[in-house]
Structure 1
Amino acid sequence: MNKKKPIQMPDTLIIIFGVVLLASLLTYLIPMGKFDTAEVSFTNSQGEEEKKTVLDPATFQYETGEDGNPVREGIPLFQSGGETGILNYVFEGMVSGDKWGSAVGVVAFILIIGGAFGIIMRTKAIDQGIMKVIDKTKGSEVLIIPVMFGVFSLGGAVFGMGEEAIAFALILVPIMIRLGYDSITAIMITYTATQIGFAASWMNPFGVAIAQGISGVPVLSAAPFRIVMWVVFTLFGLWYTYRYASKVKKSPTASLAYQSDEHFRSQNGKTSLEANFTAGHMLVVAALFAGLAWIIWGVVAHAYFIPEIATQFFVIGLAAGIIGVLFKLNNMKINDIAEGFTEGAKDLLPAALVVGMAKGIVLVLGGDSPDSPSVLNTILNNAGGLADQFPAALSAWFMLLFQSIFNFFIVSGSGQAALTMPLMAPLADLAGVTRQVAVIAFQLGDGLTNIIVPTSAALMGTLGAARVSWTVWVKHIWKFQVMLFLLASTFVLAASFMNLQ
């Protein structure tokens, strides 16, 4: 009897291409629209005045042709002169934006992090450090999961930690596999934890603080409600992660990442079970943690972002390479620094490609600028207009649903806040929902869906570091994602019924 062959899930790049085709179809069906923009000022969480360019929801208008009818332009198959056609989405997506964000800045960021850790891995300091950790934590290694999950969730809540999880995944994936878990467990305690903290935060400067400022709500207000929310979400995420990790520990083949984790298991096999953690290895690890402390200080104290953090990681890698050569770690020579950087960048190249191609989806829809005609602006205006058509509590829930879906296109927390909150805040007034509730709906919808959308550069970078494909990740995470949405719905409805101010 012939066995049925399992259905093979399409690769992430194939899925993105399918979405690009769907987006191109929408350009023939939905007319383009635009908003006027204005600059608003608000006091940020540091007590400083901050300015943000936002759309004016009352100014939406369709782009019209000579006959006065709304234009459904329809994107062509190919465009010259640097314009975007369907087949241009790869190149235009890769080079879009600037060094401060998606796509070109994030692509460079991912490659530099990969290169830096390629040098670090060439020294074998991480391998030897893992053995030292295992040796020192025998009998108490189970504490790694709750401690790490809590720390990363707090990082997401306090300073909006996200892209930094890529680097930590590179460190923790081999550790967790050596401890008998899998790469998915490592992703859960790093990236997933940061996004739970990001979503449920009471002080995240890139999400809740900007959304409150734009909405005219006192920045950092309603903190007690959000602190309770953060605790509940963090404990729920920890429970789910711990339950999954325990299952994998008992039966390693139950892991969806069992095959891809073979790369790390084979590396384990090449490493002596006897820890040989020398002074040189210790210096590399010290340089790594000193660099990470420098990054955290820079983000918190000086709002360092992609350009600064990328350079800091490069410095960490360079320092590790110099130490490796001086101490002859793994017989390193000067050219091994360059080779390690190249190999490390190559490992994260697929994740960088996904980031660029995913940005192409937004470009096909006309881009994310509110004052330029696009299909995305029309979708934003029409979906936002539905929010005041329901009873107050249901309107609040619809805002959560809308923000969750819209996050597929605009993953940046501050970017989504600038686009959606000027629309949602006045609609909340019309629907009988407080603006504070609208901010709750925004932060939960924005943050939690970062855990699954392939347009999230931080997610794809972390998956690339763990060698887990997005399709495998979706198989694992979709049930958890549904549970998170139900929990988020509960908090949004509770805030609505409480008339949270």
Structure 2
Amino acid sequence: MKLSFPHPIIILLGFIILAALSSYFIQSGSYERVLDLESGREIIVPGSFHSIEDRNASIYDIALSIPEGIILGADVVVLILLIGGAFYVIEKTGALQEGITALIYQFRNRQYLLLYIIGLIFAFCGATIAMQEELIALAPILILLAKKINYDVRAIVAIALGSALIGASFSPVNPFGSLLSQTIAELDFNEGFAYRMVFLILAILIWCGYHIKYGKLKTPSEEAIKLKPAKISLQHSMILFLAFGGIVVMAWGIVYKDWGYNEMSALFFIVGISCGLIGKMGINGTARAYTAGFGEMIFAGVIVGLARSVYLILQNTSIIDPIIQGMFQPLESMPTQIAALGLYLSQALIHLPVPSTSGQAVLTTPLAVPLMDLLGVSRQIAVLTYQYPAGVMDLIAPTNGGMMAVVAAAGIKYNSWISYLWKSWLLLMALGLISVFIALFWFA
């Protein structure tokens, strides 16, 4: 029997089982936590780690974590279904096909410029609102774009999703990453802003440049050859205006109205129905298309839920804090540069069991700050060694449900994604590490 690479669901089930088995080898423990009034979050009290009654995950706990994880991520799952359904309806009207064809024709002699613009737009979204799950519904657009301009779909997904994740990772203004960590570290927002901006620009240019160069397919596809001038009809213009206007309104709601997943879901439900009616699909036709869109997105929703299940097991067995303690404690006696490298790599590994960047900031920054004080270096190093590896790990970590869902929705196998991405991923990890080493002197 020929062996094949595991299905994404099998990979995540494997991580759930691995998390449960780890509870038998790691003594449960916990840090004391206090409420930080400025950030409104509970943060760890350094030096307060202590062992507690050992908690081990049973087979019952493993089985129960699967539906509980999906329920825990219900708001994200609903968002995926409703946005996915909306874009499926929009795709069925033919507006996306027509719009992308017209856009590509305008940039027919400057495709690289089009891809840089796409990368910068998604990088901006990542840097400001940490966009990730919202990209799941855009998978059909990315697939269509890849076919039209004769690119590997993995390269187009990397330029879109990757730019958003890298923007979030290197951003000086990401409220769920660097800003949160700086607040916990009691650092001024303005300190290090220009420094981070320089490396953010470098990261996006390197990332997009790599995939624009190496993502082009050598054999022309039929759709690329048949590219012809296209004029967007009034009807399709209205649909595209509603669709991308919805994305703008969503960004506005997140930034200025503190919108959550429910508000975003409601917005795109209205957008999807409206576009179907404008596209003359009729009430029943729109409903049928929306329902078919649910079917396309349900797998992505389950992936997000299973990723939550891994964290749920680790949280319920109280082994997250011992893992962090075990990684950070040995760094106290190391030379500054080695300690910075160790902290950088530790934060990358910690992101596997703690796939939430904001959760990781809250867990690790209070521990990294005293370590920096002890070593006599700027607290900025504590923030940089968290924000870069945590964000870049989002590109490959199978416990990151958002990335796994986008890749799955684009029809890309996880092993194919990793085999294509690993070189550019190493480039970005190296860039982040270079930034940390320079920062040791820059913020001295």
User: TM-score, normalised to structure 2's length?
Assistant: 0.93
Equivalent residues in 2 for 1:15-414, closer than 5 Å = 15-42=11-38, 50-64=39-53, 71=54, 73-78=55-60, 85-96=61-72, 103-246=73-216, 248=217, 250-251=218-219, 275=230, 277-324=232-279, 328=280, 332-367=281-316, 374-414=318-358
- Whole-Å separation in 1 of the counterparts to 2:82 and 2:336: 47
Cα contact 2:126–2:132 (8 A) shared by 1 = yes
In the other structure, the counterpart of 1:487 is 431
In the other structure, the counterpart of 1:438 is 382
Letter in 1 for 2:49: F
Q: Which has the higher helix share?
A: 2
In the other structure, the counterpart of 1:468 is 412
Letter in 2 for 1:74: N
Unaligned ranges ≥5, structure 2: none
Q: Cα deviation per residue 1:340-374 (whole Å; 9 max; x = unaligned)?
A: 1121121122221111112211222234xxxxx60
Q: State the Cα distance separating 1:304 from its structure 2 match.
A: 2.5
Q: State the Cα distance separating 1:131 from its structure 2 match.
A: 2.5
- Whole-Å separation in 1 of the counterparts to 2:266 and 2:190: 31
Secondary structure of the residue aligned to 2:355 is coil
Letter in 2 for 1:362: Y
Unaligned ranges ≥5, structure 1: 43-49, 65-70, 79-84, 97-102, 254-264, 368-372
Q: State the Cα distance separating 1:13 from its structure 2 match.
A: 1.4
Q: State the Cα distance separating 1:169 from its structure 2 match.
A: 3.8
Q: Cα deviation per residue 1:313-361 (whole Å; 9 max; x = unaligned)?
A: 222212212212xxx2xxx221121111121121122221111112211
How many pairs were matched up?
443
Letter in 2 for 1:345: F
Q: Cα deviation per residue 1:149-202 (whole Å; 9 max; x = unaligned)?
A: 122223222332323333444423312311211321221121100111111112
Equivalent residues in 2 for 1:414-433, closer than 5 Å = 414-433=358-377
In the other structure, the counterpart of 1:81 is none
Tell me if 1:12 matches 2:1: no
Cα contact 1:318–1:337 (8 A) shared by 2 = yes
Structure 2 CA distance for partners of 1:398 and 1:294, relative to 1, 3 Å? same
Q: State the Cα distance separating 1:421 from its structure 2 match.
A: 0.9
Measured on the aligned residues, the alpha-carbon RMSD in Å equals 2.3
Cα contact 1:189–1:241 (8 A) shared by 2 = yes
Q: Cα deviation per residue 1:199-257 (whole Å; 9 max; x = unaligned)?
A: 111211211111000111112421121111112111210221112223x2x2369xxxx
Q: Cα deviation per residue 1:74-111 (whole Å; 9 max; x = unaligned)?
A: 22111xxxxxx122232121112xxxxxx222222212
- Whole-Å separation in 1 of the counterparts to 2:112 and 2:88: 28
Q: State the Cα distance separating 1:464 from its structure 2 match.
A: 3.0
Letter in 2 for 1:77: I
Q: State the Cα distance separating 1:424 from its structure 2 match.
A: 1.3
- Whole-Å separation in 2 of the counterparts to 1:251 and 1:429: 56
Cα contact 1:123–1:321 (8 A) shared by 2 = yes
User: TM-score, normalised to structure 1's length?
Assistant: 0.83
Secondary structure of the residue aligned to 1:398 is helix
Structure 2 CA distance for partners of 1:12 and 1:252, relative to 1, 3 Å? farther
Identity %: 29
Cα contact 1:212–1:218 (8 A) shared by 2 = yes
Q: State the Cα distance separating 1:401 from its structure 2 match.
A: 1.0
Cα contact 1:197–1:234 (8 A) shared by 2 = yes
Q: Which moved more, 1:167-176 or 1:113-122?
A: 167-176
Cα contact 2:89–2:293 (8 A) shared by 1 = yes
Secondary structure of the residue aligned to 2:45 is strand
- Whole-Å separation in 1 of the counterparts to 2:34 and 2:347: 22
Q: Which moved more, 1:188-197 or 1:467-476?
A: 467-476
Secondary structure of the residue aligned to 1:251 is coil
Letter in 2 for 1:52: R
Q: State the Cα distance separating 1:392 from its structure 2 match.
A: 1.1
Cα contact 1:106–1:457 (8 A) shared by 2 = no
- Whole-Å separation in 1 of the counterparts to 2:88 and 2:412: 18
- Whole-Å separation in 2 of the counterparts to 1:244 and 1:197: 21
Q: Cα deviation per residue 1:394-439 (whole Å; 9 max; x = unaligned)?
A: 1112111111111122222222111111111112212333211110
Q: State the Cα distance separating 1:6 from its structure 2 match.
A: 7.7
- Whole-Å separation in 1 of the counterparts to 2:309 and 2:199: 35
Q: State the Cα distance separating 1:58 from its structure 2 match.
A: 2.4
In the other structure, the counterpart of 1:258 is none
- Whole-Å separation in 1 of the counterparts to 2:188 and 2:97: 48
In the other structure, the counterpart of 1:452 is 396
- Whole-Å separation in 2 of the counterparts to 1:308 and 1:150: 26
Cα contact 1:393–1:497 (8 A) shared by 2 = no
Q: State the Cα distance separating 1:285 from its structure 2 match.
A: 0.7
